[in-house]
Amino acid sequence: MKAIILEKYGSFDTLKYEDIEKPVPKDNEVLIKIYASSVNFNILGLVKGKPFMARFWSGLLKPKIRIPGNDISGQVEAVGKNVTRFHPGDKIFGDIYEHGFGAFAEYVAVPENAPALKPSNLTFEEAGAVPESALVALHALRDKGHIQKGKKVLIYGASGGIGTFAVQIAKAFGAEVTGVCSTRNLDLVQSLGADHVIDYTKDDFINDGQKYDLIVSIAGYRSIFNYRRALSPAGIYVCIGGAMTGPKAMTQIFQALLLGPIISITGKKKLGILPLIPSSQKDLDLIRELIESGKVRPVIDRRFPLQQTAEALKYYEDRHSRGKIVIVIKHSD
């Protein structure tokens, strides 16, 4: 089978498109024929080995993960003898981050508790854009942000992969949603259901006098003290990401990680970073229900074939993508 191989840390051009042996599922695994995956922030660090502290889980001197990619959308090809949930032919999607990655390939074998049934109203390519970003948005809003109906929620970075899902999921929970994005993405964010949209190139939500019960920050950089000022008296700030490049890259994340717990000690406002919450079939099923009900839809910026994965990663790093970048995997049959 064809796969993208990661042998050493470095530029995206170090990735190799090669033939490797097709995996065989173990007794508790399903073999999945992958039709689509997508680009996520974690792949950038995995390939480059940056920041350096990330190597303590990915491999200190060289990557322990041979095939990157964690979003999968495809069809069950075969099942192990102990598998009961799935059968050959089932259409699935999922996030295999916890199972060794391996999504940038034609096939992958994973435990049967990793995927869930694919939303019936999505194509494989559309479903490949969903898992990690939708799950991260859900966990930030529900598990860390304790979102409730009628609460005022601000999504900073509302037009990106996670942000487009966060806007829609927050609306599905009944929140009043404000999306922050650039000028060219105002119409997109509004089309996703945002009640208010702020153009960060012209206006500053910190100084508009509004207070938010929950702020979820995904992109860019603002001081954690700015976010604290924009919170309601018992508001919550959840940091998911930050600027990918430039002198302030990762600063927003480190502030939330290091300063958030200290600031949260004084007063009722809670500020911090989203911890790693394991993917579950229950949450994937909830995402599927939201999609099938028409409350949530994936937004796709561009599609790249598997052999152009390096170009897809460059595009993701260099531009402000609108929604998700999908990796399309074609099979000869």
Q: Which two tokens stand for residue 212?
A: 């938010």
The three-state secondary structure class of 324 is strand
Spatial CA neighbour of 116 closest among 135, 142, 137: 135
Give the predicted TM-score (pTM) of the model: 0.95
Give the DSSP letter of residue 119: P
Give the per-residue pLDDT at 143: 96
The predicted structure's pLDDT at residue 244: 60
Domain ranges (residues) in the chain: 2-130+298-328, 132-273
**pLDDT at position 55:** 79
CB 271 within 8 A of CB 256: yes
pLDDT of res. 178: 98
For domain 132-273, the CATH architecture is: 3-Layer(aba) Sandwich (3.40)
Among 176, 172, 171, 188, residue whose Cα is nearest residue 151: 176
Give the pLDDT confidence score for residue 37 in this predicted structure. 98
pLDDT by 10s per residue, the chain, length 333: 999 999 999 899 999 999 999 999 999 999 999 999 999 988 988 898 877 777 776 778 888 899 999 999 999 999 999 999 999 999 999 999 999 999 999 999 999 999 999 999 999 999 999 999 999 999 999 999 999 999 999 999 999 999 999 999 999 999 999 999 999 999 999 999 999 999 999 999 988 889 999 999 998 788 999 999 999 999 999 999 876 666 566 788 888 888 888 889 988 999 999 988 888 999 999 999 999 999 999 999 999 999 999 999 999 988 767 999 999 999 976
Beta bridge partner(s), residue 91:
75
Pair type for strands 176-181 and 115-117: unpaired
Q: Are 141 and 153 in contact (CB under 8 A)?
A: yes
Please report the DSSP string for 40-71 in residue order. Answer: -HHHHHHHHT-SGGGHHHH-SSS-S-SS---E
Query: What pLDDT score does 114 carry?
Result: 96
CATH of domain 2-130+298-328: 3.90.180.10
| Rounded alpha-carbon distances, angstroms, from residue 33 to 93, 103, 326 | 11, 10, 16
Q: How far apart are CA 156 and CA 224, in angstroms?
A: 13
pLDDT of residue 330: 95
CA distances from 38 to 23, 187, 288 (A): 21, 24, 17
Residue-level pLDDT at 108: 98
